[in-house]
Amino acid sequence: MTTHITFLRIGLAVIFMSHSVPGMFNNGVNDFGNLYLNEVGFSPFGLPLAWAIKLSHVALVISLLTNKYLKINAIITILVLLFGIGMIHVHEGWFVVGGGRNGVEFNFILIMCLLHLMYPNFLKVIKKH
């Protein structure tokens, strides 16, 4: 594994761990499930879905650090991020800060990073054809 990929894996692991674990201990996951997901139509499954989402982030962290089952965990996470874009972030615009608040850009770059880890030789294949 090359150094830049190692840094990318560690960076993504830190982001997804810090995005998921604190909410497991400060009632954030329960609030997300009960106060958001249940209210937008996922009731009565909002709470279990919220926990599944956060646990899928932890599974991704383990995959990033061990390089095991990365594609399946990355696909699950990309789907979660795409649903987040569609349900929450697209209504706020592109920017997370500066030109806006809570927009799409952060999820977009996370998806691109995961795709790069899943398909590191993608551009090489395109250049050959």
- Please report the pLDDT score of residue 129 as a whole number: 63
- pTM more than 0.85: yes
- Of 44-58, 93-107, 108-122, give the range with the top mean pLDDT: 44-58
What are the DSSP calls for 40-109, one per residue?
Answer: IIITTSHHHHHHHHHHHHHHHHHHHHHTSSHHHHHHHHHHHHHHHHHHTGGGG-S-SSSSSSS-SHHHHH
Q: How many CA atoms lie within 13 A of 2 on its CB side?
A: 5
Per residue in 66-104, pLDDT (tens digit) is: 999 999 999 999 999 999 999 999 999 999 988 888 999
Per residue in 22-51, pLDDT (tens digit) is: 999 999 999 999 999 999 999 999 999 999
- Please report the pLDDT score of residue 1 as a whole number: 55
Distance separating the N- and C-terminal Cα atoms of the chain: 26
From the CB of residue 123, how many other CB atoms can be counted at a distance below 10 Å? 10
